[in-house]
Amino acid sequence: MDFIRNVFAVVVGLFIFSIISFFGFIIIVGAITSASNGQVQVKDNAVMYLNLTGEVHELIPDEPLAELFEEPPRISLLNTVDALREAQDDDRIKGLHINVGLFSSGYASLTELRDAIIEFKSKGKFVYAYGEFYSEKAYYLTSVADSIFIHPEGSLEFNGISANVSFFQGALEKLNIEAQIFRAGDFKSAVEPFMRKDLSDENRLQLEEWLTTLNEELLDQISASRDIPIDQLREISSSMLVTNSKTAQEYGLINGRRYTDQVKTTINNTLGQAIDDDINFIAAQDYYQNWRSTASLPSDRIAVVVAEGEIMGGEGDNYQVGSKKFVSTIRKLRENELIKAMVIRINSPGGGMTASDAIWREITLAKDKMPVIASMGDYATSGGYYLAMPCDEIVSQPTSLTGSIGVFGMLFNFGPFLSDKLGITHDVVKTGEYSDIFTVTRSLNLEEREIIQKEVLGSYETFIDKAANGRGVANEDIKEIASGRIWAGSTALELNLVDKQGGLSEALNMAARSAELEEYQVVYYPEQKTFFEELMSGFGSRVKTRLFSDLGIFEPYRAVLDKVKSYRGIQARMPFELEIN
């Protein structure tokens, strides 16, 4: 009895300790969150600080606990752009210092940020950039700075753009797994990694044309910013004449090789301060929060609905486009009398056809009540373009990736793998000839394949029809540029897939003109979940991420295969998984 009593006491003690620990954790969370909500003061003679490290997203929630859980740093593109546009007229802010680290971003996001820095600089503010290593993307962004500094032993990548596509067909063959493919469009290459071991001719063609167009756009902008002839930049890039800080300075890509203390001295001299004085840095996100909390804003509003990530059914998270959440959000906005116009901000490679169509319907209804403008970020492909096409007008960056009007379906046959490798076999009883058509334990017969392919082709025709109606052209005109093919934003303008080149600010201007607004405030939707809410709602997925975080170079392959599990029904997705360098 003593043994049982002791065990019971230990169990009860552990239970009470767990309860106390949990509530203690909640109290700590509340304290940290409250402290993080304290308003940061903007001092005179201040310098905005942009730490270019981590992942660039359209928006980010408040994340006071992110560091405790080793979350990767995140940069809010839209908040940073807003901060720069407000600070350009703030006499307290004298300049911008960009600290270049390792970060991930698409080129259209960088174009958006770059344009905002150019505007900021045009108001007489200085812009300095410093880093130990500049990637191709980092150099493109910072090429607008007054001075670009690099560590004396640092390096700079300036050798053009490449796209690396991973293929899994060989692995499937070794495992005896069959990928059964259904698609509409010769360029719809999302399924190629599971049916080929290399690029198809169509895929290679669209990649080469897209990368060439993108590279020329980047070189043209860098040429204008650095006052270096574009032919010279092409030669430097194609021959990789620049690799380190010394050669970067010799060819005029940077202004100097300096250590951090020397950069600090340069900033102090520009501010008219003693070289040992502290610099009044204020982070871009802190400046944004200070401005939002103190500004007197008009009552009329333009809603920016941010659709970032894969499109899927359900609620989704902060970096997914859940159809249930977005349909509800847009419906509430179109019924809100304070909302005078809407901008659908799209940074999505696409996703489920049904989910995309549900959001398309709600955007179509919103357009009957107010102006609706589409603004493209890095990607607005396939399902992402599906969300743009009902809007009154579509704005893209020249560096945006769009198009990919096409659909596909995919069903794996794991039967041979399960029987040959694991000894697991299956048998079936069914009431109809096609009751088990979506089985994953055998190969589909010809009649079953024809049924699924017919559905895919029907969805493709729906996509074509709605795109043609949205663009005011004939179906045949869309078919000529569809077939799942991707296009750079600059080419999309020529093909009438978009109406104008520019970023979110241009889309907002168009929405304001259409709604006849002179003054308005911009409000972002859907509301972002806080870090703690994300942690609690997605605890299982975060644990899984942690378990796989040490896979190193194999992690991207796991991530791709993990995405395949989310494929339900017909898909309208970006035509391939690729790494752009």
Q: CA angle, 219 as apex, 47 and 556 as ends, to 5°?
A: 80
146 vs 234: CA distance, rounded Å:
22
Residue 526: is the preceding peptide bond cis (ω within 30°)? yes
Paired strand residues for 321: 311
pLDDT digits (tens, 9 = 90+) for 136-160: 999 999 999 999 999 999 999 999 9
pLDDT exceeds 80 at position 405:
yes
- Say if residue 29 is exposed, middle or buried (CB neighbours under 10 Å; 0-12, 13-18, 19+): middle
- Helix axis angle, 353-367 to 446-471, nearest 10°: 20
pLDDT digits (tens, 9 = 90+) for 360-374: 999 999 999 999 999
Of the chain, the percentage scoring pLDDT greater than 90 comes to 73
Chain-centre distance of CA 232, in angstroms? 32
In 3D space, the residue among 208, 194, 147, 201 whose CA is nearest the CA of residue 166 turns out to be 194
Residue 397 three-state SS: coil
Does residue 44 sit in helix, strand or coil?
coil
Count other Cβ atoms within 10 Å, centred on residue 127.
Answer: 21
Higher-pLDDT residue of 293 and 507 is 507
CA distance to 38, 40, 41, 257, 379, per residue, from 290 (Å):
9, 6, 7, 35, 31
pLDDT at 165 over 80: yes
* Percentage, residues of the chain above pLDDT 70: 82
Query: How many residues are there in the chain?
Result: 581
Give dist(CA 154, CA 304) in Å, integer: 40
The residues facing 305 across adjacent strands are 344, 525
The answer to whether 560 and 193 have CB atoms below 8 angstroms apart is yes
Q: What gap in Å lies between CA 379 and CA 397, rounded to an integer?
A: 10
Q: Is the pLDDT of residue 248 over 60?
A: yes
Query: Alpha-carbon distance 108 to 358, whole Å?
Result: 27
Confidence of residue 322 (pLDDT cuts 50, 70, 90): very high
CB count in 10 Å sphere of residue 487: 26
The pLDDT of residue 14 is above 80: no
| Packed helices 323-334 and 353-367: angle between N→C axes, nearest 10 degrees | 0
| Mean predicted lDDT score pLDDT of the chain | 87
Q: Average pLDDT of 57-77?
A: 72
The sheet carrying 571-573 orders its strands as 178-184, 407-413, 571-573, 350-352, 310-312, 320-322
Select, from the ranges 27-41, 400-414, 486-500, the one with the highest average predicted confidence (pLDDT): 486-500
- The answer for residues whose C-beta is within 8 angstroms of residue 80's C-beta and 6 or more apart is 50, 113, 116, 284, 285, 288
**Under DSSP, is residue 433 helix (H, G, I), strand (E, B) or coil?**
coil
The predicted structure's pLDDT at residue 427: 92
309 dihedral zone (left: phi>0; alpha: psi -120 to 50; beta): left
Q: Which two tokens stand for residue 215?
A: 């590279």
For 192-211, letters b (16+ CB in 10 Å) and e give: bbbbbeebeebbeebbeebb
pTM of the model: 0.86
